[in-house]
């Protein structure tokens, strides 16, 4: 039984001329093509994408481990890289949540507090931006079916579970969701290393639920979850490939040209 | 249903085995406890089944999600307002309870709380006690204390009764015996429960019969006990009333049948007014068990008055601090005290669902336990609990009084690794989880990620060295394949594609 998706109230701007793309460190090294797909997808819809070479990581790994000073040092670099007053589109729900929900706390009482809050206000998760700001006309059905895993940060911190679903449906693919759809996959950043046994148990249950859908593609907008669930599926020898939602949207866009 | 073919000796041995397994689990470190629990298929199945069931029940009773969110706002506001005036409310509570004839005792520590209870019992020559469910009494290990003083303290809540028979601890704050199967309970009752005529109860796996057997035993105890002990769900300051929520009637029996009633609660349970009660009660029962209202709701406002035919002659309230003042004074961790102990956070926690309550090794398991326990017992002793969380947020989403549990867990991780100078308000064991190895890793990580060129050379090296990547990475690769870096990073691809970095006129920050 699916829970009603939680939707957050937030004001959205009209379609801007330019946006920054925050690739995130995981996409940067492990799925850079997803970043390029996102850039091309957005450019195709008339939004110029800027990619500051000075960006690195949002700082979340250290922040969630309780190392605030280290998180701040790294986050400061992002404040500089994304300084201009244009929207920031983030490739992963958890990094978007770090900027949107946690930067204010991280920089509380610091000289950059106002800057951090301003950045938080113009930060959008990728599917959120596509769904709420681009507002695209639907593409014809492709007959393709995908299993969707929505990360916990996308669902609960950003409140964009519905955006994930809508952008996929809108692109013409059929979305299947696994049993216990709202449950965490067990990644949790350093949790996967610090509490390896519990993490593995959660990932195995999630992989089981994904495999039970009988669909050969798993999509998500969070690289961490995809590496966790996908890595578990691969180890189990199950032929299910993982893709970032941006890559699927770009593929559908190209197919419909 | 009565089973004919069974071997009582074998059954007793199985019950002893369960007890040994529990004692063995208690000896271990958190990780080992979690591992043992994960390997126990039966346990995993029962917890996952139970949490699925409880989640569905809660969902069904909160059908109207906007009403739920509105009620959660109310619950949060009531609890926050109560905490904002906590010292005053406690004074008012004491004044009004005393006026009502209820004697108030203050305990700063668990030890003091136990000693208060003992001295009340001793002053009245009480040797036998029946207890309603009380998590605070578990927290202060009251049974153990009284046992050492030669006082028999019998749990009368069905789940607590079973846990006591089994010589275990509750594995859930609302459903203490949730980890036990019907067959285990049947064996336990048959081997360890004793009827008042000294006979063992007949073996049965029929749930109604099992409960009937326990009820018969407990009835006699209620009638003969020298004193009753209970918890408190809410204490109303302005009227001097103690509220007790329960489903079995054992709470009412424990608080009315014996001549003395001792209630024990944490100082945070106070609310200002009767008007605060309905919303909190509705949130509590719906979040805990998916019930619109519990079977019993007791409001205790005085001992037996002259001319009344029943009720205890004395009523006492022991107000326990045990670290709560410290939580109250901590600006970030204060919301810990909003808790109404409904258990919804554990019912929604994917970690709890897999390892079960005993793995936490503390009175309070699950998310609220991860927040409360280190603050009570110290980060040095229970600090590892805060690492057993993915910060997925399901608990915070379920909490009826909107305690930001993931935020608090993260805050405790910060405290656990803190190098700030010690202060009086510190959580015990602050900084105790900081290990040189990890601290160095994060320092290095920060260096690598705070300078663009350093970061880019690192990702460059990672992609060029991908063929040299190890195929194993600790726990990760035991059940997963190793993630493979791409040949070129997104930074490189974007640069090669000529993607601009900044709007025209804005300088590159390097
Ligand atoms: S923290 Fe919230 S959900 Fe958990 S027991 Fe307390 S009130 Fe219930």
Start-to-end C-alpha separation, chain B:
79
User: pLDDT tens for residues A208-255?
Assistant: 999 999 999 999 999 999 999 999 999 999 999 999 999 999 999 999
Question: Looking at residues B160-188, what average pLDDT do you find?
Answer: 96
Q: How does residue A8 score in pLDDT terms, banded at 50, 70 and 90?
A: low
* CA angle A89–A91–A92, rounded 5-degree value: 120
Residue that is last in its domain, among B252, B286, B320: B320
Strand order in the sheet with A123-125: A48-50, A18-22, A88-90, A123-125
Residue that is last in its domain, among B320, B336, B371: B320
Residue B221 counted as domain residue: yes
Residue B267 counted as domain residue: yes
* A175/B414 Cα distance (integer angstroms): 39
Q: How far from A46 is each of A52, A75, A88, A136, B13, CA to CA, in Å? A: 19, 29, 16, 12, 74
Question: Looking at residues B42-67, what average pLDDT do you find?
Answer: 95
Expressed as residue numbers, the domain containing B461 is 436-470+483-496
Residues B12, B143 within the same domain: yes
Residue A2 has pLDDT above 50, yes or no: no
Per the document, the length of chain A is 257
Question: Looking at residues B340-363, what average pLDDT do you find?
Answer: 97
Question: Looking at residues B307-335, what average pLDDT do you find?
Answer: 96
Q: How does residue B52 score in pLDDT terms, banded at 50, 70 and 90?
A: very high
Give residue A1's pLDDT. 33
Nearest to A39 by CA among B491, B504, B461: B491
Instruction: List phi, psi (to 5°) of A197.
Output: -70, -45
Give residue B3's pLDDT. 54
Count H helices, E strands: chain B? 24, 10
What are residue A21's DSSP bridge partners?
A89
Candidate from B387, B449, B491 with C-beta closest to A53: B491
Residue B379 counted as domain residue: no
- Please list, in sequence order, all residues whose beta carbon lies within 8 angstroms of the beta carbon of residue B160, skipping any fewer than 6 positions away: B131, B133, B170, B176, B177
Output the ligand 1 site: residues, CB below 6 A.
Answer: B 339-345, 368, 398-401, 403, 405
Which residue ranges form the domains of chain A, and what is each CATH number?
11-131 (3.40.50), 137-255 (3.40.50.1860)
Residue B407 counted as domain residue: no
CATH number of the domain to which B278 belongs: 3.40.50.10420
* B313/B259 Cα distance (integer angstroms): 5
Give residue B5's pLDDT. 59
Using a CB-CB distance cutoff of 8 angstroms, which residues of chain A are in contact with residue B394?
152, 156, 182-184
Residues B316, B445 within the same domain: no
Residue B449 counted as domain residue: yes
Give residue B472's pLDDT. 77
Residue B220 has pLDDT above 50, yes or no: yes
Give residue B6's pLDDT. 72
Q: Which of B463, B480, B488, B504 to mutate to test the interface with A (most CBs of A within 10 A)?
A: B480
* B77/B229 Cα distance (integer angstroms): 30
Using a CB-CB distance cutoff of 8 angstroms, which residues of chain B are in contact with residue A52?
501-502, 508-509
Strand A88-90 and strand B234-236: the pairing is unpaired
Nearest to B476 by CA among A175, A197, A221, A45: A197
Q: How does residue A5 score in pLDDT terms, banded at 50, 70 and 90?
A: very low
Nearest to B414 by CA among B394, B432, B388: B432
* B77/A49 Cα distance (integer angstroms): 44
Residue that is last in its domain, among B304, B320, B336: B320
* CA angle B362–B363–B365, rounded 5-degree value: 70
Nearest to B37 by CA among A31, A197, A172: A197
Q: How does residue B424 score in pLDDT terms, banded at 50, 70 and 90?
A: confident
> Structural domain tally of chain B?
2
The token duo for B91 is 């004074």
**Which of B266, B339, B400, B405, when mutated, tests ligand 1's pocket best, judged by the most ligand atoms within 8 Å of its CB?**
B339
Using a CB-CB distance cutoff of 8 angstroms, which residues of chain A are in contact with residue B387?
191, 194-195
Q: Which chain B residue is nearest to residue A195, measuring alpha carbons?
A: B388
**Helix (H), strand (E) at residue B230:** strand B227-230
Strand order in the sheet with A174-176: A174-176, A145-148, A217-220, A241-244
Residue B326 counted as domain residue: no
Question: Looking at residues B250-271, what average pLDDT do you find?
Answer: 98
* B311/B260 Cα distance (integer angstroms): 9
Residue B85 has pLDDT above 80, yes or no: yes
Give residue A79's pLDDT. 98
User: pLDDT tens for residues B143-170?
Assistant: 999 999 999 999 999 999 999 999 999 9
Residue B113 counted as domain residue: yes
Lowest-pLDDT choice from A26-40, A119-133, B55-69, B194-208: B194-208
Strand B102-107 and strand B234-236: the pairing is unpaired
- Tell me the whole-structure pTM to 2 decimals: 0.95
Give residue B125's pLDDT. 97
Give residue B4's pLDDT. 54
C-alpha A80 to ligand 1 mean position (Å): 40
Lowest-pLDDT choice from A121-125, A208-212, B3-7, B235-239: B3-7
Nearest to B189 by CA among B214, B164, B218: B214
Percent of chain B whose pLDDT exceeds 90: 88
């Amino acid at each position: 039984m699916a829970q009603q998706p939680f939707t957050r109230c937030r004001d959205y701007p009209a379609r801007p001329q330019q946006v920054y793309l925050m690739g995130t460190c995981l996409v940067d090294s492990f799925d850079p093509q997803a970043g390029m797909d996102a850039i091309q997808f957005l450019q195709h819809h008339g939004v110029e994408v800027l990619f500051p070479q000075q960006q690195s990581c949002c700082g979340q790994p250290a922040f969630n481990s309780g190392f605030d000073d280290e998180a701040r040092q790294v986050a400061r670099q992002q404040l500089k890289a994304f300084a201009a007053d244009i929207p920031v589109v983030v490739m992963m729900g958890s990094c978007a949540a770090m900027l949107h929900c946690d930067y204010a706390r991280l920089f509380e009482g610091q000289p950059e507090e106002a800057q951090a809050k301003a950045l938080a206000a113009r930060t959008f998760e990728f599917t959120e931006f596509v769904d709420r700001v681009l507002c695209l006309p639907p593409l014809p059905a492709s007959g393709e079916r995908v299993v969707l895993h929505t990360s916990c940060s996308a669902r609960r911190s950003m409140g964009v579970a519905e955006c994930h679903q809508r952008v996929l449906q809108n692109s013409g693919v059929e979305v299947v969701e696994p049993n216990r759809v709202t449950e965490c996959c067990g990644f949790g950043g350093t949790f996967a290393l610090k509490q390896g046994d519990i993490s593995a148990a959660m990932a195995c249950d999630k992989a089981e639920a994904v495999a039970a859908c009988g669909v050969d593609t798993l999509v998500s907008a969070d690289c961490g979850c995809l590496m966790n669930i996908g890595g578990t599926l691969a180890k189990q020898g199950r032929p299910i490939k993982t893709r970032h939602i941006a890559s699927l949207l770009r593929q559908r866009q190209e197919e419909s040209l | 249903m009565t089973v004919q073919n069974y071997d009582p000796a074998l059954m007793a041995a199985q019950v002893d085995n369960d007890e040994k397994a529990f004692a063995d689990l208690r000896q271990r470190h958190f990780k080992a406890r979690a591992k043992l629990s994960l390997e126990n298929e039966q346990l995993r199945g029962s917890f996952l089944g139970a949490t699925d069931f409880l989640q569905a029940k809660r969902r069904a009773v909160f059908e109207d999600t906007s009403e739920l969110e509105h009620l959660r706002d109310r619950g949060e506001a009531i609890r926050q307002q109560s905490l904002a005036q906590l010292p005053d409310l406690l004074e008012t509570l004491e004044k009004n309870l005393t006026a009502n004839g209820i004697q108030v005792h203050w305990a700063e520590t668990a030890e003091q709380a136990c000693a208060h209870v003992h001295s009340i019992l001793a002053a009245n020559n009480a040797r036998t006690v029946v207890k309603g469910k009380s998590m605070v009494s578990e927290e202060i290990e009251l049974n153990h204390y009284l046992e050492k003083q030669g006082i028999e303290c019998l749990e009368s809540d069905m789940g607590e009764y079973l846990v006591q028979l089994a010589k275990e601890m509750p594995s859930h704050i609302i459903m203490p015996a949730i980890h036990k199967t019907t067959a285990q309970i049947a064996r336990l009752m048959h081997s360890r429960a004793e009827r008042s005529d000294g006979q063992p109860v007949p073996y049965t796996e029929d749930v109604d019969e099992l409960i009937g057997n326990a009820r018969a035993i407990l009835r006699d105890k209620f009638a003969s006990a020298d004193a009753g002990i209970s918890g408190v769900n809410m204490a109303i300051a302005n009227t001097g009333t103690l509220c007790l929520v329960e489903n079995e009637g054992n709470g009412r029996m424990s608080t009315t049948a014996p001549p003395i009633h001792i209630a024990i609660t944490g100082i945070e349970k106070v609310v200002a007014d009767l008007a605060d009660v309905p919303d909190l009660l509705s949130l509590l029962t719906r979040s805990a068990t998916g019930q619109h209202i519990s079977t019993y709701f007791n409001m205790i406002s005085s001992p037996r008055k002259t001319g009344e035919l029943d009720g205890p002659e004395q009523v006492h309230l022991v107000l326990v601090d045990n670290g709560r003042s410290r939580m109250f004074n901590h600006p970030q961790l204060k919301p810990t005290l909003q808790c109404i102990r409904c258990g919804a956070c554990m019912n929604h926690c994917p970690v709890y669902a897999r390892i079960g309550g005993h793995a936490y090794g503390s009175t309070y398991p699950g998310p609220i336990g991860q927040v409360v326990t280190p603050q009570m017992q110290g980060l040095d002793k229970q600090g590892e609990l805060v690492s057993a969380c993915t910060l997925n947020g399901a608990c915070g989403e379920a909490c009826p009084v909107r305690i930001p549990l993931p935020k608090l867990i993260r805050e405790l991780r910060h405290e656990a690794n803190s190098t700030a100078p010690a202060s009086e308000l510190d959580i015990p064991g602050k900084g105790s989880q900081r290990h040189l190895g990890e601290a160095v890793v994060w320092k290095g990580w920060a260096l690598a990620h705070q300078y663009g060129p350093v970061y880019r050379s690192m990702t460059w090296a990672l992609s060029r060295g991908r063929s040299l990547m190890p195929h194993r990475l600790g726990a990760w690769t035991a059940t997963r394949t190793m993630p493979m870096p791409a040949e070129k990073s997104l930074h490189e691809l974007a640069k090669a594609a000529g993607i601009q970095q900044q709007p025209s006129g804005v300088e590159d920050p390097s």
